[in-house]
Structure 1
Amino acid sequence: MKILVIDDHVLVREGLKQVLRTLEDNVEVFLVGTCAQGFSVALEHPDLELVLLDYHLPDMNGLDALRIFSRRHPDIPVLILSGSSNPQIMHQVLQAGAAGYSTKTSVSEELLGAVRCVLAGDIYMPPPAAQTFDQDYPAPATAPMPLSPKQEQVLCELLAGRSNPDIARLLSISEETVKTHMAAILRHFNVQNRTQAVVAATRCGYRATAKS
């Protein structure tokens, strides 16, 4: 498993590395201090499974960096780290494609829980903040035209964290057909990428299929 950590504080990076290496035996953690370095690592290692991205960085705003990651690497989930628990910031990063939001005040077990949640294809927010978030940002209305049964199947596999090739294999359809269904799903929820679709679908009551 490969994880990229982007944070401009050396001690924070090293601390995160020690925590992340307890996930499993073969965790490889890349540590960088700028967005530019992070983009380079992501290009060199397209098999990254997770990015931990600091919201405040010296060379680029974390929100802008998140949008770039979402556009260039839509299959790599990004967990935002911040010292703030402001629900407005959470709303912004989730709308921009983040797979989760965790505060830097979290203890190790809370952070590991957030990481496991995101790696499982779910969306993570700290529980107290999530309550406030749901009150301030209620789920949007769904699109007038419902998803087809096959589109719902694709969506449920997406919620399980599966890639397009995996979805194609499991549903016995071509990858091009998966992409067509995925485009329809994005239009249905009026979102720009897979992670935003997961956020919208989860809040509208859709659930992932069980992983085999």
Structure 2
Amino acid sequence: MTEPLTVLIVDDHAVARRGISAYVDVLDDIESRGEAADGQDALDQLAQLERSGRLPDVVLLDLVMPRMDGVTAMKAMRQQFPSVKVVVLTSFGETERLNTVMQLGAVGYLLKDAGPLEVASAIRAAARNEVFIDTAMAKKLTQIMGSPASGISSLTQRERTVLTLVGEGRSNREIAKELYISERTARTHVSNMLGKLNLSSRTQAALVAVNAGLVAPPA
């Protein structure tokens, strides 16, 4: 049998933590590896779990917490525990905040009114290194961006391939390896692709790729 995905739940509200933990623990393929009350608590627990070889696959992270907020914690996590995927779970629905955390390395963004199925889907997508964005946020981003998918025709074949790879959640290094090019060249292709589509982030590009049918939406 496949080992279940593991998740550390980080939120300063005990009721929220326990509710999510209770939900994931009834799933066959996901289990809670613990709960943390703030960013510093999360980093301390991750350090302990790393020492015992039990780092979680995913951290479900609130943004607004005392002592250490989610953004600060995420920066530290990306440096100290790069293998751990971060899914943000927050009550803030601003696209600017979404872009910020995605640029910091988050692979998922959920609003706190998301249903249990969305939470589970985001955790599974994160484990596959895929981007998962709350349905309401995805619609908002799409409205803001207008219809950049129509601009895909302006892309070269290589840039279209790069868009597809970005939509799959690939990093510049992974794109370079896939296309047998240098990481610098991959970075240039990504930048050109974003510029032609009038996009400001890889998150937006991933949405365009999904909307254009270049990649399948997260399950």
Superposed, which structure 2 residues align to 1:37-116 within 5 Å? 37-43=41-47, 44=50, 45=53, 47-116=55-124
Query: Unaligned stretches of 5+ in structure 1?
Result: 141-148, 163-170, 172-178, 190-195
Superposed, which structure 2 residues align to 1:182-201 within 5 Å? 199=203
Asked if 1:125 corresponds to 2:133, the answer is yes
CA distance in 2, matches of 1:18, 1:64: 27
Aligned to 2:120, what secondary structure does the other structure show?
Answer: helix
**Structure 2 letter corresponding to 1:103:** L
The Cα offsets for residues 96-140 of structure 1, whole Å up to 9 and x where unpaired, read as 211111111122222222222222321111223212223436899
Asked if 1:8 corresponds to 2:12, the answer is yes
Of 203, 206, 215, the residue aligned with 1:202 is 206
Kept after mapping to 2: 8 A contact 1:54/1:81: yes
Query: Unaligned stretches of 5+ in structure 2?
Result: 149-157, 171-177, 195-200
Q: Which residue of 2 aligns with 1:31?
A: 35
Aligned to 1:106, what secondary structure does the other structure show?
Answer: coil
Count of matched residue pairs: 195
1:72 offset after TM fit, Å? 2.0
Dislocated runs of 4+, deviation >6 Å: 155-162, 179-189, 206-209
**Structure 1 letter corresponding to 2:12:** D
Aligned to 1:51, what secondary structure does the other structure show?
Answer: strand
Distance 1:111 1:25, change over 3 A: closer
* TM-score normalised per structure 1: 0.66
* TM-score normalised per structure 2: 0.64
Percent identity among equivalent residues? 21
Distance 1:201 1:69, change over 3 A: farther
